[in-house]
């Protein structure tokens, strides 16, 4: 079965169907992973309110998502879709916290691929040795089939180096995939400077596994300098 990405509004609506509305609550956010299960209320509806409240900081909303996972209140694939959407929406490097929690957890794991784009790390990228680079990693319990780069909604065929060694990822996810695929989970796209006009382009990265599951792990406007 194909699994498509969802946005935060979908997640909010989905859970609202199944959980009765509750009164507004004031929540103290505790960032420590050791206390994350006790940091927030157990009622899923309260988390939904937090995740959907755009007046709160993105970090607070991500913490609510993380706590939902630790309390088994959300499907892990919907959780990651929402976390990636939140990171793209805020242009902040937020989902690394969630990836760390899941990597060290004995809870249920996602069926679709997960990963992270390390570079560009901000909203702009400069060429190095005549190339723009899009680097990151991706893993899946059944193996990653391909990593797809789109620029301005067009699938690009620029050179992509796969199976790059990532000892950090091999150690971070002991319960996900196998050791070899975690260790060789890195990827790097090289885009010749002359291939893109300087300025803002929309960049997205989609990861596909061998069972036809897929997930968009990056989607935002990047200024190419």
- Smallest CA-to-CA distance from 47 within 60, 66, 64, 70 is with 64
Q: 114-224 has which CATH code?
A: 2.60.40.650
pLDDT score recorded for residue 189:
96
User: Is it the case that residue 5 has pLDDT exceeding 70?
Assistant: no
**Burial class (CB within 10 angstroms; exposed 0-12, middle 13-18, buried 19+) of 92:** middle
For 117, phi then psi, to 5°, come to -95, 110
CB 78 within 8 A of CB 11: yes
Residue in the block written with tokens 């990822």: 169
Give helix 44-52 / helix 58-70 axis angle, nearest 10°: 160
Verdict on whether the full-model pTM lies above 0.85: no
Structure confidence at residue 65 (pLDDT) = 87
Task: With beta carbons less than 8 A apart as the criterion, state whether 149 and 41 touch.
Answer: no
- pLDDT tens for 13-50 read 433 433 332 223 223 333 344 444 444 455 778 888 88
Average confidence (pLDDT) over 53-73 = 87
94-122: per-residue pLDDT in tens? Answer: 888 788 888 777 767 888 999 999 999 88
Mean pLDDT of 54-70: 87
Domain definitions of the chain by residue range: 8-103, 114-224
Q: What 3-state DSSP class applies to 128?
A: strand
pLDDT, tens digit (0-9, with 9 covering 90-100), for 170-225 = 998 887 878 999 999 999 999 999 999 999 999 999 999 999 899 999 999 999 99
146 — pLDDT class (breaks 50, 70, 90): very high
């Amino acid at each position: 079965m194909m699994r498509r990405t969802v946005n935060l509004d979908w997640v909010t609506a989905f859970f609202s169907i199944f959980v009765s509305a509750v009164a507004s609550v004031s929540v103290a956010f505790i960032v420590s992973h050791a206390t994350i299960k006790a940091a927030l209320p157990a009622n899923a509806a309260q988390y939904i309110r937090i995740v959907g409240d755009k007046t709160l900081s993105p970090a607070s909303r991500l913490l609510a998502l993380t706590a939902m996972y630790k309390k088994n209140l959300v499907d892990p694939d919907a959780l990651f879709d929402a976390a990636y959407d939140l990171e793209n929406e805020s242009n902040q490097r937020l989902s690394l916290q969630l990836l760390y929690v899941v990597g060290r957890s004995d809870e249920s794991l996602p069926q679709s691929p997960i990963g992270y784009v390390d570079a560009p790390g901000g909203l702009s990228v400069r060429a190095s040795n005549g190339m723009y680079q899009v680097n990151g990693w991706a893993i899946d319990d059944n193996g990653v089939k391909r990593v797809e780069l789109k620029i301005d909604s067009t699938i690009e065929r620029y050179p992509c180096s796969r199976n790059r060694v990532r000892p950090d990822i091999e150690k971070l996810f002991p319960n996900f995939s196998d050791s070899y695929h975690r260790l060789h989970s890195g990827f790097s796209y090289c885009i010749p400077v002359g291939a893109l006009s300087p300025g803002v382009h929309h960049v997205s990265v989609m990861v596909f596994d061998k069972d036809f599951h897929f997930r968009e792990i990056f989607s935002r406007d990047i200024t190419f300098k």
